[in-house]
Amino acid sequence: MIPYHFYYFGPLLVKMKITKEDLNKIKKILSKKGFDMKKDLAGVIEEEYELVRENYDSIMRPYIDVYKDAYHQFTGTDLDKNIHTKRAWVNYMKSGEYNPPHIHSNCDLSSVLFISIPEKLKKENKKWKDVKSKGPGSISFNTGFMGKFYNAGVEHFPEEGDFWMFPYSLIHYVSPFKSKCERISVAANFDVR
């Protein structure tokens, strides 16, 4: 056996699963009465509302701090600064809506937390046969680089409680779906200081 080593390379994309207890706490702070974020965001989504960031941060703090540990594993160095929630908002995504390829700005890190994945959407996604895509309602991350020996992207059909954190500049998007239902997710941006 010839020893070898490969290098972790590219953006640090971390996926976690939050507990049902914390998911229920998040559900309690969601509202369709917050500041309308639609004009500030890239998504073609009718209902996107700002959350009180302190409420979000207090529930998600243990998961946000995991990113620092992952950073250490990924780079071999410590992230000796704190990660602060800058802004958080809830997305109520319906049939035909989507998030086009985009990055976030005016922050260091971004995230998405999947709150509710309706059964209708799960059934629609299971019927998807195209092996080049994870199908309707999926989230995709892409570095923008393509090549024969590259793994340029990650695609995932979400489950409730899936939480992703990543650098603000990682291109990501959400595929539309046809099912008459509402999928709920929360996005947040962070500063590192």
Domains of the chain, with CATH numbers? 14-192 (2.60.120.620)
Q: 3-state class of 182 per DSSP?
A: strand
Tell me if 60 sits within 8 A of 29, measured CB to CB.
no
Residue 95: per-residue pLDDT: 97
Q: Give CA separation, 34 vs 29, 87, 89, 161, 177, in Å.
A: 10, 13, 9, 22, 25
Model pTM above 0.85: yes
How does the average pLDDT of the chain come out, rounded?
93
Residue 6: per-residue pLDDT: 79
Residue 128: per-residue pLDDT: 81
In sequence order, the β-bridge partners of residue 96 are: none
CA 144 to chain centre: 17
Give residue-wise pLDDT tens across range 84-108.
999 999 999 999 999 999 999 999 9
